[in-house]
Amino acid sequence: MFFLSRLYRHPAFVVGMREVSPQSPGIAAWGLMTGVAMVKSGMSVFEASAMTLLVFAGSSQLAAIPLIVAGAAAVVAYSLPLKLNIVVAIAVAVILCLTVEKIRPAPKVAA
């Protein structure tokens, strides 16, 4: 589905690409830094690539690298990134709640 050419020609795709493009250099730099850190810590390129595909958040990958290298138990190596993702999700939800009111004020109710 991702490679269907009709999706690339859709006007919404073009709008989405324009809106995402300013963040792309930062995302690419963060991905490169995370990948280099994983390979320098002793992981193979295959393992680093697999972790990149399976673990979405780069900060979770960076948090798990020392645990994996130190030979920590799998439960510990999996639970720390999960907890980190939960904390980030909560922080994003709080920020979203605080900013939505400023962007789109709540409708006034007639008395």
Q: What is the pLDDT of residues 35-87, one digit of tens each?
A: 888 888 888 889 888 888 877 777 788 888 888 888 888 788 788 888 888 88
- Going by pLDDT thresholds of 50, 70 and 90, the confidence category of residue 104 is low
Q: What is the pTM of this model?
A: 0.60
Exposure string for 37-70, b = 16+ CB within 10 A, e = fewer: ebeeeebeeeebeebeeebeebebbbbbbebbee
- Going by pLDDT thresholds of 50, 70 and 90, the confidence category of residue 101 is low
Q: What is the pLDDT of residues 4-17, one digit of tens each?
A: 777 777 888 888 88
The token pair that represents 93 in the structure block: 């939800």
110: pLDDT strictly greater than 70: no
DSSP state of 91: H
In whole angstroms, what is the distance from residue 100 CA to residue 111 CA? 24
